[in-house]
Amino acid sequence: MNQTGLIDASFAKLRRIAATWTAPGSIASQIGAEQLSLTLAGHNLWTVWQATDEVFGYPIRDPEQRDTNAVGSDPGGLHAYIQEAWPPIKRIMLTARVVF
């Protein structure tokens, strides 16, 4: 975009990915369980692509964070130079599901 004051705010993120492994019955029975499964999940892992990575020489830390300096009926906007919020927390979780 070449218009002053307008930025291309397009982006792509890897928000959530998960993989589950279900153990065979022979492994589950070794711990006295009927079923056993493990899930590894990740949230907010990666901003894959961002059309605009800086505005007026200031980096955009996260394309989804908005300026919180709302005035009147203006809800605020994408102002990289005064982003006050932290980017979403990256989380990696391991979950064990055991059925006895």
Q: How many domains does the chain have?
A: 1
Give the pair of three-digit tokens for residue 78. Answer: 């994408």
Is 47 a domain residue? yes
Q: Is residue 33 part of a domain?
A: yes
pLDDT confidence of residue 100: 93
Q: Is the pTM of this model over 0.75?
A: no
Q: Which residue has the higher pLDDT, 66 or 41?
A: 41
Q: Is residue 4 part of a domain?
A: no
Phi first, then psi: what are they for 40, rounded to 5°?
A: -110, 125
Q: Lowest mean pLDDT of 4-13, 61-70, 78-87, name the range.
A: 78-87
39-53 pLDDT per residue, tens: 999 998 888 888 877
Residue 68 is predicted with a pLDDT of 53
- Which residues of the chain form beta strands (DSSP E)? 11-22, 35-50, 54-55, 58-59, 91-99
Establish if 35 belongs to a structural domain: yes
Q: Does residue 38 form part of some domain?
A: yes
Task: Give the per-residue pLDDT at 4.
Answer: 64
The reply to whether 7 falls in a domain is: no
Give the whole-angstrom CA distance, residue 32 versus residue 43: 32
Print the domain residue range for 72: 12-99
Within a domain: 54: yes
Choose the weakest-confidence range: 20-29, 30-39, 41-50, 74-83.
74-83
